[in-house]
Amino acid sequence: MIKSLALPLLVICFVVAVAAGLPAQTIDHDGLRVTAMPDLAPKSYFGYALCRVLVTNSANRERNVRLFMRAPRSELEEVSRAFKIAAGEVREESLLIPIMEFYAMSLRVEVDGVLLNEQSLHRDFRSYRNYYNRKQALVDSRISRTEFDAAFTGAGSGNVHNLEINQFEGSLAQLYQNWLGYSQFNMLVFYAGSINSMPDGVRRAIFDYVRAGGSLLTIGAIELPEDFVKKPQTGADIALNLTVFEGGFGKVVSGEDTLLKDMSGASGNLLPDYLCDMFSDAEFRGESPLRFKYDETETLSTRWLMVIVYIFAFLIGPVNVFVLHRLGRKILVFFTIPVASAICCLFIYGYYLVFESATLRVKRQAVTLLDERFNRAITFANYAVFSSSSRSDGLRFDNQTEVFPYGGYSRRQTDGGRFISLDEDQHLSIGWIKPKVQRALHLRAVQTRRERVSLTWQNGELQLLNGLGTDIESIRLMTRDGSIFAGKSIKAGRQSNLQRVVRPTKVGTQTPADIASAIWFRELSNLENSPDRYLQPGCYVANITDSPFVSQALDSRAEKEETSFVIGILKEDVQP
């Protein structure tokens, strides 16, 4: 009898042991369930990785929940999100994690202020910039690794693009509905049927990824949003019969149903380099182009501090002794020295409060594609800040903005202890603005905005109402009939007459996608000196004083240096 039960008991013990060793993917606590969702691993040098969960509140009351991941001694130490979930509600929540040095083994949960010590979700999240040292592609799960290798890295195309395949393990409906989930990829590759089967929110996120400078390759034709424009076919496109559309700063490349076979064949046809390759340039691998010079970061002058010390030593020494000797009160030296020392310390501390701790400098470069037809703004920006004191308010960006911290490997080893709170937006709180540490960020944002310019004709003159929320230093505008007008020094909210340009040069030779194909901030000089190159009918280029699209609360208190442009698409045109 005992021998007959021995084998089943051993099997049961083995199953229990294996189950106990499996990573926890669900947490249940007092009517609240938190379930891990499938996500993509961080493998790139740039972009974001998301850590998502499905939260179900079966209780009959509202709950306060806080999710967080911690990585002590990493460059990024903690990412957290706090929210309220109503009784009976089911919702998806995510941690938005910029790719930087960050290693966390689990996602922890607090419910109503109580940490669930015994329960955590196993999420082995390892993020190291460019550890894999290859460009990354998110590829349709219908495409096998063999097909991908044959088409992109095999004999047909060679390894010219240095692409590595990534595939999502969940269903199409579980793909990300925030474009930041795709931001780490140089290209997305999907069958047209897969894109057509995606929920609307997923498709919108993918198209926003493209607008933010991304690249989408479709096998088969798909229906695109209205703002995507078909480009003339070039010689490089003809071999594979590719059709290219530009939307925002990015591209959609559409091939035929046989595209993979054509790329894998002996003909050796190469896919043209339509990858989102912005961050592969060395400009993004080191320091920011917006650096503060030594005289800009020098706060308390050592020379003047030494002068103060010498004056104090002279007064407290020879002068003090001489005066007390003449007064015959040498015993007062035990009183005058401490008092004078206290006064000197208060003076130096006051000097620090007035001059040292008040130093705050900001530098910014930005170019924004403002599509007034759809109330959409896509912005690329460099943002640098230097403060002589720590500022706990930090920096805030919305949840549709990618934050890329500049800095080489050596700096990442010494500049840790940074926290991100995602309660309402992306709050870069503790550790992001440290005393006398330059902080430089690259930003990509896709936003819903209502800034615009309005045109009217009055007495044969074209008038522009500045509704951009900031002063316009200069503007060049092309109406639907191809006429070009120019204006200067237009205050925010004010109206001004535009002057007709008689001899424009190099009109319409560049597009926003061309800016993203290059190092965009190198194109700012062309936007300033040759804005007509970026004009199309119904568009304008404006040089503005203060970009409202990536502004921060601390900007108003800072000494600011800025170069910002808006490439605008008019909602409507007027005729005289």
Q: Where are the alpha helices (DSSP H) in 298-390?
A: 302-314, 320-327, 333-351
Most confident range (mean pLDDT) of 153-167, 226-240, 262-276 is 226-240
Amino acid of residue 209: Y
- At 60, is the secondary structure helix, strand, or coil? coil
The CA distance from 42 to 50, in Å, is 9
pLDDT over 60 at 297, yes or no: yes
Contact 231, 246 (CB under 8 A): yes
Could you tell me how many residues make up the chain? 576
What is the model's pLDDT at position 303?
Answer: 65
What is the token pair recorded at 556? Answer: 């108003």
- At 201, is the secondary structure helix, strand, or coil? helix
What is the model's pLDDT at position 77?
Answer: 92
DSSP letters, 261-307, are HHHHSTT-PPPP--S--GGGSGGGTSS-S----HHHH--S-HHHHHH
- Helix axis angle for 333-351 and 302-314, nearest 10°, is 160
What is the model's pLDDT at position 351?
Answer: 66
Task: Say which range, 336-350, 454-468, 548-562, has the weakest mean pLDDT.
Answer: 336-350
Name the nearest CA neighbour of 59 among 31, 99, 79: 31
Q: How confident is the model at residue 301 (pLDDT cuts 50, 70, 90)?
A: low
| Helix (H) / strand (E) containing 513 | helix 512-517
DSSP letters, 87-104, are TT-EEEEEEEEESSSEEE
| Torsion sign, CA atoms 388, 391, 397, 399 | positive
Strand locations in 86-191, DSSP E? 90-98, 102-111, 114-115, 121-127, 135-139, 163-166, 187-191
Q: List all residues 6 or more positions away from 477 whose beta carbon is below 8 Å from its beta carbon.
A: 453, 455, 464, 484, 485, 486, 487, 498, 535, 539, 540, 541, 570
| Torsion sign, CA atoms 148, 154, 158, 163 | positive
| Helix (H) / strand (E) containing 18 | helix 2-21
Q: List all residues 6 or more positions away from 260 whose beta carbon is below 8 Å from its beta carbon.
A: 143, 147, 150, 151, 219
What is the reported pTM? 0.87
pLDDT over 70 at 92, yes or no: yes
Contact 426, 399 (CB under 8 A): yes
Name the nearest CA neighbour of 166 among 177, 152, 154: 152
What is the token pair recorded at 153? Answer: 């890295």
Alpha carbon of 571 to those of 376, 418, 452: distances in Å? 11, 42, 8
Contact 210, 251 (CB under 8 A): yes
Task: Say which range, 314-328, 434-448, 485-499, has the weakest mean pLDDT.
Answer: 314-328
| Helix (H) / strand (E) containing 77 | strand 76-85
pLDDT over 70 at 15, yes or no: no
The CA distance from 317 to 100, in Å, is 55
560 or 309, which is more confident: 560
Contact 399, 422 (CB under 8 A): yes
Q: How confident is the model at residue 17 (pLDDT cuts 50, 70, 90)?
A: very low
pLDDT over 90 at 68, yes or no: yes
What is the model's pLDDT at position 63?
Answer: 95
Percent of the chain with pLDDT over 90: 56
Q: What share of the chain is helix, strand, coil (3-state, %, to 5)?
A: 25, 35, 40
- Helix axis angle for 320-327 and 333-351, nearest 10°, is 150
Q: Where are the alpha helices (DSSP H) in 135-265?
A: 145-148, 192-197, 200-211, 235-238, 259-264
Q: How confident is the model at residue 367 (pLDDT cuts 50, 70, 90)?
A: very high
Q: How confident is the model at residue 121 (pLDDT cuts 50, 70, 90)?
A: confident
382 or 15, which is more confident: 382
What is the model's pLDDT at position 48?
Answer: 95
Mean pLDDT of the chain: 86
What is the model's pLDDT at position 283?
Answer: 75
Percent of the chain with pLDDT over 70: 89
Spacing of C-alpha 184 from chain mean position = 11
480 or 575, which is more confident: 480
pLDDT over 70 at 182, yes or no: yes
Q: What angle do CA 328, 331, 335 make, to 5 degrees?
A: 120
